[in-house]
Amino acid sequence: MERNTQSGPASISKDVRNTNRIPFIRTGVAGVLMGLANLVPGVSGGTMVLVMGLYEQFVSAIADLTRFRFTRKSLLFIGLLVLAAAIAIGACSGVMSHLVTTRRSAMFSLFIGMTLGGAPLLYGMVKPLKGSAVIGLVLGLGLMVVIAGTKPDKPQPAEGREAVEVIEPSYARDVAAGAVGMSAMVLPGISGAYMLLVLGRYEAILAAVHQVSKFVVSAGQKGDLGTAMPVIIPVAIGAIIAMVGLSNFLKWMLHRHPRVMLGFLLGVLLGSVIGIWPFDAGAATRDYVIGVALAIAGFVATTILSRLKM
């Protein structure tokens, strides 16, 4: 029979579960990293919350809000996380887009290092790694291998032609897309945009969101809500269902079966780097050297940041 040790699941997020304190600095850093990760295709924002050691509080706060338990702690935590992520996205979207396009191997190497930097912290929560924790790890790692194997080819635009927004509703798939997209935000290691590509609904949903944005910005003068809302509404329904169901399920798992769940999260974290392998077959030696250096820098930075107590 397995026993919990002080370094195992019994001490999960001990600094935030047993007090009403919120580690404001660490939460703000997690929000910034979450926002930056969402700007990189294939990188999960939820992984950044996990590597900062705040995943249990993140899931618990979302679960409480979906059950209309509006505690001061949950509202402050989610509010700070979302605000920091929004600021990071607004301030860095152009720069990150440019870097990912022109320095892909370097940026992906950095995010691989940052992701793996959370492994020591998560391993410290679950050790000794045996029994149910190993089962969870294998399941999490296997899930990420399967997802990486379904990676769609990058669509190529027709030469000399501009991309045309096509919004065709597909109600069942849009509900599924909303559910999967939201699940990807809550479950670390999975990119929401990536999963929408797998489902074949990324372009239609993006085009629908763009139409709504034009309608709002122009005060109703531009944008076609008639074609956008038949896509947006099913996506929103799926997202709400997933947020309520998954967040409460994960909270239950973390409290009732912590070893399985932490092992699963460790497997997801380790396997999440498969989908963002930075080097192509023709990569130069210089690319490898820079990539390894950035991966090490990202690993060290995340390891240090994840241990912030404030």
Q: How many CB atoms lie within 10 A of CB 76?
A: 15
pLDDT at 79: 93
pLDDT at 19: 46
Does the pLDDT at position 2 exceed 60? no
- Stronger pLDDT, 192 or 62, i.e. the higher one: 62
pLDDT at 167: 66
CA distances (Å), origin 230, targets 144, 205, 227:
32, 10, 6
Condensed to tens digits (0 to 9), the pLDDT of residues 118-159 reads 888 888 888 888 899 999 999 989 988 887 776 555 444 443
Name the residue ranges covered by the structural domains of the chain.
9-153+162-305
Q: Which of 45-59, 73-87, 180-194, 273-287 has the lowest mean pLDDT?
A: 180-194
Does the pLDDT at position 32 exceed 80? yes
pLDDT at 78: 92
- Stronger pLDDT, 263 or 104, i.e. the higher one: 263
pLDDT at 164: 44
pLDDT at 310: 66
pLDDT at 252: 92
Does the pLDDT at position 282 exceed 50? yes
pLDDT at 165: 52
Condensed to tens digits (0 to 9), the pLDDT of residues 150-203 reads 655 544 444 334 344 556 768 888 898 888 878 777 777 676 766 776 677 777
The chain-wide mean pLDDT, for the chain, equals 79
Condensed to tens digits (0 to 9), the pLDDT of residues 228-281 reads 889 889 999 998 998 899 889 988 998 999 999 989 988 988 887 887 777 877
pLDDT at 136: 93
Does the pLDDT at position 87 exceed 80? yes
Q: What percent of the chain has pLDDT over 70?
A: 83
